[in-house]
Amino acid sequence: MPASTTGTPDQGATVGQWNALIRRARLDDRQKLAALVMSSYADADGTNIHCGVVRLSVDLQCSYSTAQRYLRWLRAVGLVELVRAGNRRRKWSDEYRLILGPDVLEHLDVLDPGRYDELCNATREDRRRTSGGNQASTKVTSDSQASGVTQDDASSASSGVTQDDAHSIEPVTDMASPQMTPDEADQASNDDPSGVTQDDAPPSLTTSPERSTSPTTVDGDLRTAVTVTREDGSEMKTICPAKCGPHKLAGGTRPDGRPACPLCRVAQDQAAGKKRPRPALPTSHIAPVIHLRPEAS
Protein backbone atom coordinates (compact mmCIF):
# COMPACT_ATOMS: atom_id res chain seq x y z
CA MET A 1 0.00 0.00 0.00
CA PRO A 2 1.37 3.47 -0.80
CA ALA A 3 2.29 5.69 2.14
CA SER A 4 0.16 8.72 2.89
CA THR A 5 1.39 12.24 3.55
CA THR A 6 1.03 11.71 7.29
CA GLY A 7 3.43 8.75 7.29
CA THR A 8 0.79 6.05 7.91
CA PRO A 9 0.20 3.40 5.23
CA ASP A 10 -2.90 3.93 3.14
CA GLN A 11 -5.55 1.26 3.76
CA GLY A 12 -7.43 1.93 0.53
CA ALA A 13 -8.01 -0.98 -1.88
CA THR A 14 -9.07 -1.20 -5.46
CA VAL A 15 -12.31 -2.88 -6.43
CA GLY A 16 -10.49 -5.92 -7.81
CA GLN A 17 -8.43 -6.50 -4.65
CA TRP A 18 -11.40 -5.91 -2.36
CA ASN A 19 -13.77 -8.23 -4.27
CA ALA A 20 -11.14 -10.99 -4.39
CA LEU A 21 -10.88 -10.96 -0.60
CA ILE A 22 -14.68 -10.92 -0.17
CA ARG A 23 -15.06 -13.91 -2.48
CA ARG A 24 -12.57 -15.96 -0.42
CA ALA A 25 -14.07 -14.88 2.90
CA ARG A 26 -16.38 -17.36 4.65
CA LEU A 27 -19.45 -15.16 5.20
CA ASP A 28 -23.15 -15.82 5.23
CA ASP A 29 -25.21 -14.99 2.19
CA ARG A 30 -26.59 -11.67 3.45
CA GLN A 31 -23.22 -10.36 4.63
CA LYS A 32 -21.50 -11.20 1.35
CA LEU A 33 -24.37 -9.65 -0.61
CA ALA A 34 -24.17 -6.42 1.39
CA ALA A 35 -20.41 -6.18 0.82
CA LEU A 36 -20.68 -6.76 -2.94
CA VAL A 37 -23.50 -4.21 -3.22
CA MET A 38 -21.29 -1.59 -1.57
CA SER A 39 -18.38 -2.32 -3.91
CA SER A 40 -20.66 -1.99 -6.94
CA TYR A 41 -20.99 1.75 -6.20
CA ALA A 42 -17.20 2.32 -6.02
CA ASP A 43 -14.94 3.56 -8.75
CA ALA A 44 -12.08 1.41 -9.98
CA ASP A 45 -9.80 2.73 -7.24
CA GLY A 46 -12.40 1.93 -4.55
CA THR A 47 -13.49 5.51 -3.83
CA ASN A 48 -16.52 7.72 -4.43
CA ILE A 49 -19.10 5.39 -2.86
CA HIS A 50 -22.36 7.23 -2.29
CA CYS A 51 -24.50 4.49 -0.85
CA GLY A 52 -26.17 5.31 2.43
CA VAL A 53 -28.48 3.29 4.65
CA VAL A 54 -31.59 4.10 2.63
CA ARG A 55 -30.13 3.03 -0.71
CA LEU A 56 -28.59 -0.10 0.84
CA SER A 57 -31.92 -1.15 2.38
CA VAL A 58 -33.61 -0.82 -1.02
CA ASP A 59 -30.88 -2.82 -2.75
CA LEU A 60 -30.91 -5.60 -0.14
CA GLN A 61 -34.73 -5.54 0.10
CA CYS A 62 -34.56 -5.31 3.86
CA SER A 63 -35.61 -2.87 6.55
CA TYR A 64 -33.78 0.34 7.39
CA SER A 65 -32.49 -1.03 10.68
CA THR A 66 -31.15 -4.19 8.99
CA ALA A 67 -29.30 -2.17 6.34
CA GLN A 68 -27.92 0.08 9.07
CA ARG A 69 -26.64 -2.99 10.93
CA TYR A 70 -24.85 -4.30 7.81
CA LEU A 71 -23.21 -0.94 7.13
CA ARG A 72 -22.06 -0.71 10.73
CA TRP A 73 -20.59 -4.23 10.47
CA LEU A 74 -18.66 -3.34 7.27
CA ARG A 75 -17.10 -0.37 9.03
CA ALA A 76 -16.34 -2.34 12.22
CA VAL A 77 -14.40 -5.16 10.51
CA GLY A 78 -12.36 -2.68 8.43
CA LEU A 79 -13.86 -3.11 4.94
CA VAL A 80 -15.28 0.38 4.33
CA GLU A 81 -14.36 3.79 5.67
CA LEU A 82 -16.40 6.99 5.92
CA VAL A 83 -14.65 9.71 3.91
CA ARG A 84 -17.15 12.54 4.36
CA ALA A 85 -20.37 12.77 6.30
CA GLY A 86 -23.45 13.93 4.48
CA ASN A 87 -25.10 17.33 4.81
CA ARG A 88 -28.85 17.33 4.62
CA ARG A 89 -29.08 21.08 4.10
CA ARG A 90 -26.70 20.91 1.14
CA LYS A 91 -28.18 17.56 0.06
CA TRP A 92 -24.89 15.76 0.34
CA SER A 93 -24.93 12.04 1.01
CA ASP A 94 -22.35 10.10 2.99
CA GLU A 95 -19.26 9.17 1.01
CA TYR A 96 -17.37 5.91 1.65
CA ARG A 97 -14.37 4.12 0.19
CA LEU A 98 -13.16 0.52 0.19
CA ILE A 99 -10.35 -0.35 2.58
CA LEU A 100 -8.55 -3.41 3.89
CA GLY A 101 -7.92 -2.69 7.54
CA PRO A 102 -4.85 -4.00 9.36
CA ASP A 103 -6.94 -6.35 11.52
CA VAL A 104 -9.48 -7.41 8.88
CA LEU A 105 -8.11 -10.97 8.86
CA GLU A 106 -8.76 -11.17 12.59
CA HIS A 107 -12.47 -10.52 12.09
CA LEU A 108 -12.98 -12.56 8.94
CA ASP A 109 -12.16 -16.14 8.00
CA VAL A 110 -10.46 -15.69 4.64
CA LEU A 111 -9.09 -18.60 2.62
CA ASP A 112 -5.65 -18.20 1.13
CA PRO A 113 -5.51 -18.35 -2.69
CA GLY A 114 -4.04 -21.88 -2.71
CA ARG A 115 -6.75 -23.32 -0.47
CA TYR A 116 -9.38 -21.50 -2.51
CA ASP A 117 -8.09 -23.09 -5.73
CA GLU A 118 -8.07 -26.54 -4.08
CA LEU A 119 -11.74 -26.20 -3.15
CA CYS A 120 -12.58 -25.16 -6.69
CA ASN A 121 -10.75 -28.15 -8.13
CA ALA A 122 -12.37 -30.57 -5.66
CA THR A 123 -15.82 -29.26 -6.49
CA ARG A 124 -15.04 -29.57 -10.20
CA GLU A 125 -13.87 -33.19 -9.83
CA ASP A 126 -16.88 -34.11 -7.72
CA ARG A 127 -19.18 -32.65 -10.33
CA ARG A 128 -17.36 -34.49 -13.12
CA ARG A 129 -17.56 -37.78 -11.21
CA THR A 130 -21.26 -37.35 -10.47
CA SER A 131 -22.00 -36.34 -14.05
CA GLY A 132 -20.02 -39.32 -15.36
CA GLY A 133 -22.02 -41.72 -13.19
CA ASN A 134 -25.29 -40.30 -14.43
CA GLN A 135 -24.15 -40.58 -18.04
CA ALA A 136 -23.04 -44.20 -17.48
CA SER A 137 -26.40 -45.17 -15.98
CA THR A 138 -28.18 -43.43 -18.82
CA LYS A 139 -26.04 -45.30 -21.37
CA VAL A 140 -26.79 -48.67 -19.70
CA THR A 141 -30.51 -47.93 -19.73
CA SER A 142 -30.45 -46.90 -23.39
CA ASP A 143 -28.44 -50.02 -24.33
CA SER A 144 -30.93 -52.24 -22.52
CA GLN A 145 -33.84 -50.61 -24.30
CA ALA A 146 -32.09 -50.94 -27.66
CA SER A 147 -31.42 -54.65 -27.16
CA GLY A 148 -34.96 -55.21 -25.90
CA VAL A 149 -33.79 -57.11 -22.81
CA THR A 150 -35.36 -56.09 -19.52
CA GLN A 151 -34.53 -57.13 -16.00
CA ASP A 152 -37.51 -59.49 -15.84
CA ASP A 153 -36.44 -61.14 -19.10
CA ALA A 154 -32.93 -61.60 -17.76
CA SER A 155 -34.20 -63.21 -14.55
CA SER A 156 -36.51 -65.49 -16.52
CA ALA A 157 -33.65 -66.53 -18.80
CA SER A 158 -31.43 -67.32 -15.82
CA SER A 159 -34.12 -69.52 -14.26
CA GLY A 160 -34.68 -71.40 -17.53
CA VAL A 161 -38.40 -70.61 -17.64
CA THR A 162 -39.80 -68.21 -20.20
CA GLN A 163 -42.72 -65.93 -19.55
CA ASP A 164 -45.08 -67.96 -21.76
CA ASP A 165 -44.06 -71.20 -20.04
CA ALA A 166 -44.70 -69.63 -16.66
CA HIS A 167 -48.26 -68.73 -17.68
CA SER A 168 -48.90 -72.16 -19.19
CA ILE A 169 -47.93 -74.06 -16.03
CA GLU A 170 -51.03 -75.17 -14.15
CA PRO A 171 -51.11 -76.30 -10.52
CA VAL A 172 -51.67 -80.03 -10.04
CA THR A 173 -53.78 -81.07 -7.08
CA ASP A 174 -53.30 -84.56 -5.76
CA MET A 175 -56.63 -86.03 -4.68
CA ALA A 176 -55.01 -88.86 -2.79
CA SER A 177 -54.35 -88.70 0.93
CA PRO A 178 -50.73 -88.91 2.07
CA GLN A 179 -51.71 -92.00 4.09
CA MET A 180 -52.99 -93.92 1.03
CA THR A 181 -51.01 -96.52 -0.80
CA PRO A 182 -50.45 -96.16 -4.56
CA ASP A 183 -53.19 -98.72 -5.30
CA GLU A 184 -55.65 -96.97 -3.02
CA ALA A 185 -54.84 -93.64 -4.64
CA ASP A 186 -55.55 -95.05 -8.11
CA GLN A 187 -58.80 -96.58 -6.87
CA ALA A 188 -59.84 -93.27 -5.29
CA SER A 189 -59.21 -91.43 -8.54
CA ASN A 190 -61.23 -94.04 -10.47
CA ASP A 191 -64.10 -93.86 -7.97
CA ASP A 192 -64.36 -90.10 -8.21
CA PRO A 193 -68.12 -89.39 -8.37
CA SER A 194 -67.59 -86.45 -10.67
CA GLY A 195 -66.42 -88.77 -13.41
CA VAL A 196 -63.56 -86.43 -14.30
CA THR A 197 -60.00 -87.62 -14.01
CA GLN A 198 -56.84 -85.58 -13.94
CA ASP A 199 -56.12 -86.48 -17.57
CA ASP A 200 -59.54 -85.45 -18.85
CA ALA A 201 -60.61 -81.84 -18.65
CA PRO A 202 -64.18 -81.02 -17.61
CA PRO A 203 -66.60 -80.90 -20.51
CA SER A 204 -67.26 -77.22 -19.90
CA LEU A 205 -63.59 -76.45 -20.53
CA THR A 206 -63.00 -78.64 -23.60
CA THR A 207 -66.26 -78.31 -25.51
CA SER A 208 -68.20 -75.21 -26.43
CA PRO A 209 -71.81 -75.46 -25.27
CA GLU A 210 -74.26 -75.57 -28.15
CA ARG A 211 -77.34 -73.44 -28.20
CA SER A 212 -80.00 -75.26 -26.26
CA THR A 213 -83.36 -75.89 -27.88
CA SER A 214 -86.68 -76.35 -26.18
CA PRO A 215 -87.51 -80.05 -25.76
CA THR A 216 -90.75 -81.07 -27.40
CA THR A 217 -93.18 -83.93 -26.86
CA VAL A 218 -95.77 -85.62 -29.02
CA ASP A 219 -98.42 -83.18 -27.86
CA GLY A 220 -96.34 -80.08 -28.58
CA ASP A 221 -93.92 -77.92 -26.71
CA LEU A 222 -92.80 -79.30 -23.37
CA ARG A 223 -93.20 -75.90 -21.73
CA THR A 224 -96.87 -75.86 -22.77
CA ALA A 225 -97.48 -79.59 -22.27
CA VAL A 226 -96.29 -79.58 -18.67
CA THR A 227 -98.64 -77.88 -16.26
CA VAL A 228 -97.03 -76.06 -13.37
CA THR A 229 -99.08 -76.00 -10.21
CA ARG A 230 -98.74 -73.42 -7.46
CA GLU A 231 -98.75 -74.28 -3.80
CA ASP A 232 -102.47 -73.38 -3.50
CA GLY A 233 -103.35 -75.86 -6.27
CA SER A 234 -104.10 -73.34 -9.02
CA GLU A 235 -102.46 -73.65 -12.40
CA MET A 236 -99.80 -71.11 -13.33
CA LYS A 237 -99.80 -69.77 -16.88
CA THR A 238 -96.64 -69.84 -18.92
CA ILE A 239 -95.10 -66.39 -19.04
CA CYS A 240 -93.47 -66.81 -22.42
CA PRO A 241 -94.94 -69.81 -24.37
CA ALA A 242 -93.00 -71.18 -27.31
CA LYS A 243 -93.97 -70.05 -30.80
CA CYS A 244 -95.29 -72.42 -33.41
CA GLY A 245 -92.71 -73.68 -35.84
CA PRO A 246 -94.30 -72.92 -39.25
CA HIS A 247 -95.80 -69.49 -38.56
CA LYS A 248 -93.76 -68.19 -35.57
CA LEU A 249 -96.99 -67.13 -33.88
CA ALA A 250 -98.43 -68.05 -30.50
CA GLY A 251 -97.56 -71.64 -29.65
CA GLY A 252 -99.06 -74.24 -27.42
CA THR A 253 -102.72 -75.22 -27.19
CA ARG A 254 -105.84 -73.51 -26.02
CA PRO A 255 -108.09 -74.86 -23.22
CA ASP A 256 -110.28 -76.54 -25.87
CA GLY A 257 -107.29 -78.53 -27.13
CA ARG A 258 -106.88 -76.69 -30.43
CA PRO A 259 -103.65 -74.90 -31.41
CA ALA A 260 -103.21 -71.39 -30.12
CA CYS A 261 -101.87 -70.26 -33.50
CA PRO A 262 -104.81 -69.06 -35.66
CA LEU A 263 -103.15 -70.14 -38.90
CA CYS A 264 -102.61 -73.60 -37.46
CA ARG A 265 -106.31 -73.80 -36.61
CA VAL A 266 -107.28 -72.81 -40.17
CA ALA A 267 -104.95 -75.47 -41.58
CA GLN A 268 -106.41 -78.02 -39.17
CA ASP A 269 -109.97 -77.19 -40.28
CA GLN A 270 -109.01 -77.37 -43.95
CA ALA A 271 -107.40 -80.77 -43.43
CA ALA A 272 -110.58 -82.01 -41.71
CA GLY A 273 -112.77 -80.63 -44.53
CA LYS A 274 -114.46 -78.07 -42.37
CA LYS A 275 -115.47 -74.76 -43.84
CA ARG A 276 -115.13 -71.76 -41.66
CA PRO A 277 -118.26 -69.56 -41.83
CA ARG A 278 -117.70 -66.18 -43.32
CA PRO A 279 -119.12 -63.25 -41.40
CA ALA A 280 -122.19 -61.75 -43.06
CA LEU A 281 -121.66 -58.36 -44.54
CA PRO A 282 -124.04 -55.64 -43.42
CA THR A 283 -126.76 -54.72 -45.90
CA SER A 284 -125.97 -51.09 -45.63
CA HIS A 285 -122.32 -51.48 -46.36
CA ILE A 286 -122.36 -48.63 -48.85
CA ALA A 287 -121.71 -45.25 -47.35
CA PRO A 288 -124.59 -42.77 -47.75
CA VAL A 289 -124.18 -40.10 -50.39
CA ILE A 290 -123.91 -36.62 -48.96
CA HIS A 291 -125.23 -33.90 -51.25
CA LEU A 292 -123.09 -30.84 -51.11
CA ARG A 293 -125.54 -28.66 -53.04
CA PRO A 294 -129.29 -28.51 -52.43
CA GLU A 295 -131.44 -30.04 -55.18
CA ALA A 296 -133.41 -27.62 -57.34
CA SER A 297 -137.14 -27.56 -56.49
Question: Span 107-113, mean pLDDT?
Answer: 91
What's the number of CA atoms in the CB half-sphere (13 Å) around residue 185? Answer: 11
Q: Are residues 53 and 25 in the same domain?
A: yes
Give the C-alpha distances (Å, rounded to integers) separating 266 from 41, 210, 259, 273: 119, 35, 10, 11
**The predicted structure's pLDDT at residue 275:** 72
* Residues 223/214, Cβ–Cβ less than 8 Å: yes
Segment among 1-15, 81-95, 122-136 with least mean pLDDT = 1-15
40, 95: one domain: yes
Mean pLDDT is highest, among 81-90, 118-127, 221-230, for: 118-127
Instruction: Please tell me whether residues 40 and 96 are part of one structural domain.
Output: yes
Q: Domain range for residue 63?
A: 15-108
Backbone angles phi, psi at 9, to 5 degrees: -65, 140
Across 106-130, average pLDDT: 91
Are 41 and 86 members of one domain? yes
Measured CA to CA, the distance from residue 221 to residue 34 in angstroms comes to 104
Based on the structure, what is the number of domains in the chain? 2
pTM over 0.85: no
98 falls within a domain: yes
pLDDT digits (tens, 9 = 90+) for 150-179: 555 545 444 554 445 544 445 444 444 445
Q: C-alpha distances in angstroms, 161 versus 91, 148, 269?
A: 91, 18, 75
CATH number at residue 39: 1.10.10.10
- Pair 66, 88 in one domain: yes
Same domain? 83 vs 121 = no
Indicate if 27 and 60 belong to the same structural domain.
yes
Whether residue 45 is found in the same domain as residue 81 = yes
Q: What would the pLDDT profile of 220-251 be if each residue is shown by its tens digit?
A: 444 444 444 555 655 555 444 577 777 777 77
